[in-house]
DNA sequence: CCTCCACAGGAAGCGCAGGAGT
DNA sequence: ACTCCTGCGCTTCCTGTGGAGG
């Protein structure tokens, strides 16, 4: 029978407040980022005296608390009633100078936000606004490395400060690519990044503290095992110390526990969550893979489904004589998979790539962790490899077929 | 022993698209 | 607007490895 919405809503849950586990949640206290926060506050403190703070660039891998820390400081600042205005902009969405200015106008001067105005118009309006009572406008540019015309943007910002008689603009850039600075024009480099700081990945211990704090708020009392928290922290610490990943594990573990009707989320649930999250990531990767790598995966998957993992006969006759599936299960031979790949390419109406390139595909797929390869060593003639899919063949095939149908527009032409 | 097979992976080169320079 | 350059995806060719078979 089908549950009604009311019933679904009334289901017991071990969460108290799920949102606390979301990566966007901003807690009152950010454990193990006290020093960084202090440094940011120090950096922008001139604003309290009505002076323009130095520009700041914050580096760090994903899930090291960069965005959280900056937002945290921004909120503190907003509560101070100063002349400072903070414009938070996610550059993944607003990825050009024009869009960024437009977004700021929209946030602070909605009356002037009309599509179709030129860059100069927004620029003028913003300058007037900043100048009117000597405001300090701080742009917070999250994921600044994806801005396309970053050099132009740098120029625009420095020019603003030259033209302003009162007030000023400054910038806090957040980037997870350390290489970002190198590809910048030297002039914008020096003007944009007067100070910089690096966020180190969290250690396992630090992650544990963070998770504990969130779990205490997010889960009902006694609904999560300490071992679960520890495991999630340990897994994430191994994986670049990404707090976002750690939180995702906890959230997922809670959901899994809920679904199975458990009243306690345990380390077993976390382990399950890890598999599920990894799978999600991989499946996402698969569906965005180039066509031919998808076909290679498909070839591998269908051979694995047919159950023959070892079929080296003298065979000159091509003969799709399958029949005996000797399930050695060490994986498939690379030549065998290539044949299937060529065959499938025809089916997908794509021109098969050469063997050489096929090997490149294989090593790409291996690096993505989608397949596992093992050197034959001895036993097999010469030097070859046994290839295995890391995930269930059924799922992989289903996924690829749907993603091929999804973009059938590109098929012909 | 040599040769062949089945494969790995390096080097060179080719056609193309997109960006820089003029 | 034009060319020129460069990086990318790919092919071709080549050398190397190690068991199988003559």
Q: Is the pLDDT of residue A382 over 60?
A: yes
Note the CA–C1' distance, A370 to B3, in angstroms.
38
Alpha-carbon span A413 to A409, nearest angstrom: 8
Strand C nucleotides with an atom less than 7 Å from a protein beta carbon: 10-14, 16-20
Least confident of A9-23, A32-46, A266-280, A374-388: A374-388
Protein residue with the closest CA to the C1' atom of nucleotide C19: A381
* Cβ of residue A311 lies below 7 Å from strand B: no
pLDDT at position A233: 94
Q: Is the pLDDT of residue A114 over 50?
A: yes
Band the pLDDT of A406: cuts 50, 70, 90: low
Band the pLDDT of A412: cuts 50, 70, 90: very low
In terms of C-beta density within 10 A (0-12 exposed, 13-18 middle, 19 or more buried), how is residue A58 classed?
A: buried
- pTM of the predicted model over 0.95: no
- Checking phi first, is residue A50 left (phi over 0); if not, alpha (psi -120 to 50) or beta? left
Q: Is the pLDDT of residue A340 over 50?
A: yes
Note the CA–C1' distance, A290 to C10, in angstroms.
14
Alpha-carbon span A255 to A259, nearest angstrom: 6
Closest CA to A164 of A43, A48, A51, A88: A51
* Cβ of residue A315 lies below 7 Å from strand C: no
Mean pLDDT of A326-355: 81
Strand B nucleotides with an atom less than 7 Å from a protein beta carbon: 5-11
Closest CA to A189 of A207, A210, A175, A204: A175
Mean pLDDT of A189-210: 88
pLDDT at position A228: 92
**Domains plus CATH for chain A?**
34-199 (3.40.50.300), 213-286 (1.10.8.60), 288-313+327-410 (1.10.10.10)
Mean pLDDT in chain A? 83
Contact A206, A235 (CB under 8 A): no
Q: Is the pLDDT of residue A410 over 50?
A: no
Closest CA to A53 of A133, A134, A138: A138
Scanning A260-392, the segments in alpha helix (DSSP H) are 267-287, 291-306, 334-347, 355-367
* Cβ of residue A382 lies below 7 Å from strand C: yes
Residues 6+ apart with CB under 8 A from A96: A147, A148, A149
Mean pLDDT of A129-138: 87
Place of tokens 């400081």: A73
Place of tokens 């950096």: A43
pLDDT at position A64: 92
Alpha-carbon span A210 to A212, nearest angstrom: 5
pLDDT at position A9: 77
Q: Which nucleotide is nearest to A375 (CA to C1')?
A: B8
Closest CA to A47 of A35, A56, A34: A56
* Cβ of residue A97 lies below 7 Å from strand C: no
Mean pLDDT of A174-183: 75
Q: Is the pLDDT of residue A287 over 80?
A: yes
Q: Which nucleotide is nearest to A338 (CA to C1')?
A: B7
Note the CA–C1' distance, A155 to C15, in angstroms.
53
Q: Is the pLDDT of residue A97 over 50?
A: yes
Q: Is the pLDDT of residue A347 over 70?
A: yes
* Cβ of residue A378 lies below 7 Å from strand B: no
pLDDT at position A321: 32
Mean pLDDT of A393-406: 77
In percent, the amount of chain A with pLDDT more than 70 equals 88
* Cβ of residue A353 lies below 7 Å from strand C: yes
Residues 6+ apart with CB under 8 A from A165: A131
Band the pLDDT of A320: cuts 50, 70, 90: very low
Q: Is the pLDDT of residue A6 over 90?
A: no
SS3 call for A175: strand
Q: What b/e string do you get for A178-212 counting C-beta neighbours within 10 Å, with b at 16 or more?
A: eebbeebeeebeebbbeeebebebbeeebbbebbe
Note the CA–C1' distance, A294 to B12, in angstroms.
28
Band the pLDDT of A70: cuts 50, 70, 90: very high
Closest CA to A246 of A227, A231, A226, A258: A231
- Residue A216 CA to chain centroid, in angstroms? 26
Q: Which of residues 252-291 of A touch strand C (CB under 7 A)?
A: 290
Q: Which nucleotide is nearest to A337 (CA to C1')?
A: B7
Note the CA–C1' distance, A295 to C8, in angstroms.
20
Mean pLDDT of A90-109: 85
Place of tokens 């550059």: A91
Band the pLDDT of A72: cuts 50, 70, 90: very high
Virtual torsion, Cα A186, A187, A193, A198, nearest 10 deg:
-10
DSSP letter for A219, please: B
């Amino acid at each position: 029978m089908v549950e009604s919405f009311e019933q679904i809503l009334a289901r017991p849950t071990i969460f108290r407040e799920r949102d606390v586990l979301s990566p966007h949640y901003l807690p009152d206290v950010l454990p193990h980022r006290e020093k960084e926060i202090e440094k940011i506050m120090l950096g922008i403190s001139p604003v309290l005296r009505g002076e323009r703070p130095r520009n700041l660039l914050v580096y760090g891998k994903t899930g090291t608390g960069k965005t959280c820390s900056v937002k945290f400081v921004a909120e503190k600042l907003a509560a101070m009633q100063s002349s400072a205005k903070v414009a938070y902009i996610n550059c993944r969405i607003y990825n050009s100078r024009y869009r960024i200015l437009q977004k700021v106008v929209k946030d602070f001067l909605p009356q002037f936000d009309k599509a179709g105005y030129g860059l100069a118009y927004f620029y003028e309006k913003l300058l007037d606004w900043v100048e009117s009572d000597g405001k300090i406008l701080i742009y917070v540019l999250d994921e600044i490395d994806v801005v396309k015309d970053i050099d132009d943007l740098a120029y625009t910002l420095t020019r603003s400060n030259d033209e302003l008689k009162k007030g000023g603009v400054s910038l806090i850039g957040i980037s997870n690519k350390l290489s970002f600075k190198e590809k910048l024009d030297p002039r914008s480099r020096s003007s944009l990044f007067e100070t910089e700081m690096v966020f180190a990945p969290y250690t396992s211990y630090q992650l544990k503290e963070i998770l504990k704090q969130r779990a205490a708020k997010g889960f009902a009392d006694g609904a999560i095992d300490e071992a679960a928290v520890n495991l999630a922290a340990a897994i994430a610490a191994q994986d670049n110390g990404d707090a976002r990943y750690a939180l995702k594990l906890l959230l997922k573990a809670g959901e899994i526990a809920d679904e199975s009707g458990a009243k306690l989320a345990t380390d077993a649930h976390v382990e399950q969550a890890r598999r599920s999250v990894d799978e999600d990531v991989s499946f996402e990767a698969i569906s965005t893979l180039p066509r031919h790598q998808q076909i290679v995966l498909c070839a591998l998957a269908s051979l694995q489904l047919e159950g023959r993992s070892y079929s080296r006969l003298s065979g000159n006759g091509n003969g799709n004589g399958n029949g005996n599936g000797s399930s050695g299960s060490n994986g498939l031979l690379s030549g065998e998979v290539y044949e299937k790949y060529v065959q499938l390419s025809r089916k997908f109406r794509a021109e098969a790539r050469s063997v050489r390139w096929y090997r490149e595909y294989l090593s790409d797929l291996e690096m993505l962790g989608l397949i596992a390869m093992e050197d034959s060593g001895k036993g097999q003639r010469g030097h070859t490899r046994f290839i295995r899919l890391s995930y269930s063949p059924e799922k992989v095939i289903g996924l690829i077929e749907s993603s091929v149908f999804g973009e059938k527009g590109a098929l012909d032409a």
